[in-house]
Chains A and B, each alone.
Chain A
Amino acid sequence: MKSAVVVFPGINRERDMARALRLASGRDPAMVWHADTALPGETDLVVVPGGFSYGDYLRCGAIAARAPIMDAVRAHARRGGLVLGVCNGFQILCEAGLLPGVLMRNTAMKFICRDVYLRIERSDTPFTRGYNAGQVIRVPVAHGEGNYIADAATIARLEGEGRVLFRYADPDGALDPAWNVNGATNAIAGVLNQSGNVLGLMPHPENHVEAALGPTDGRGLFAGLVDHFKQAA
């Protein structure tokens, strides 16, 4: 699996992401600068990592979404290439029109930095094939604007088409509002685009991949992607 990590000024989780990708795939990803206009040839997976691109100025991810490299990311997505956006990356993909909806301020108005439990809603996607449907994983979040909002029609379509891949849940997978840390609509933590090749999620699976540092529940996302490309090869 050949991956590329896009870096904007203010992004700060690119190295964690690169490490997770290397551990899973055995290969260092290309680090691609926001002002570049092309991705490396034969890139399988483009990752937009977390941080505070452009200081969250104007709106989270708004300026990054309009950076030169995003045209190449959009073209890659149009060709069916896989794109993964984590946290600020999810915000950037929404602002760039690659995913529906918008991430707004957490309802409790606080920046939340803690582990959460996510229920995997489907395992039949390249991003979640490393998990079982209904499985609960523990991953960290660190965000002030993770409240997923979209109009009623969009939410209905996302739900109806099974494009909500992760939800905030309690440790047993029940949708208890107390565990929906940012108040997101329907406890939505991550969504898939219509073609099934672009995923955005607020939590950071890349930070739970090494036993020395704690839980390793995040490995399944990366292992599943590596598997997907092995099978396709």
Chain B
Amino acid sequence: MKARVTVTLKSGILDPQGKAIEGALKSLGIAGVASVRQGKVFDIEIEGRDRKAAQAALEQAADKLLANTLIENYQVELK
């Protein structure tokens, strides 16, 4: 089954990369961009059909590796 884990910075954590991207969008003349924060997307193919087990496994993956929970949040989405 396909799943997507999205990892984003916790609010309050400084994101200089997001700021740099924001500046670049403004230079490109793209109107109205108030702020940008950059995150990560992991597309994961997980075996089996048990959705509960898959959810648990992916949350474990996120907690233990994909996200640094000091500074990042994550969201697990099963497709």
Which A130-172 residues have a C-beta within 8 angstroms of B? 149-151
Give bound CA distance, A59 to B71, whole Å.
12
Which B2-34 residues have a C-beta within 8 angstroms of A? 13-14, 16-17, 20
- Are the CB atoms of A59 and B70 closer together than 8 Å? no
Determine the chain B residues whose CB is within 8 A of the CB of A62 once the complex forms.
65, 68
- Are the CB atoms of B16 and A107 closer together than 8 Å? yes
Determine the chain A residues whose CB is within 8 A of the CB of B66 once the complex forms.
58
Given contacts A104-B14, A105-B16, contact A58 B70 (CB under 8 A): no
CB B36 to nearest CB in A, in angstroms, measures 14
Asked if A95 is at the interface of the complex by the 8 Å CB criterion, the answer is yes
- Are the CB atoms of B68 and A101 closer together than 8 Å? no
What's the dominant secondary structure at chain B's contact region?
helix
Determine the chain B residues whose CB is within 8 A of the CB of A104 once the complex forms.
13-14, 71
Interface residues on B, range: 10 to 19
Given contacts A58-B65, A62-B65, A66-B65, contact A109 B70 (CB under 8 A): no
Determine the chain B residues whose CB is within 8 A of the CB of A191 once the complex forms.
none
Give bound CA distance, A75 to B59, whole Å.
27
Give bound CA distance, A150 to B12, whole Å.
11
Determine the chain A residues whose CB is within 8 A of the CB of B68 once the complex forms.
59, 62, 95, 102
Give bound CA distance, A150 to B18, whole Å.
19
- Are the CB atoms of A149 and B71 closer together than 8 Å? yes
Closest partner residue, chain A, to B71 (CB atom): A102
Give bound CA distance, A151 to B69, whole Å.
12
- Are the CB atoms of A150 and B17 closer together than 8 Å? no
- Are the CB atoms of A109 and B71 closer together than 8 Å? no
Q: Which residues of B contact A (CB under 8 A)?
A: 13-14, 16-17, 20, 64-66, 68, 70-71
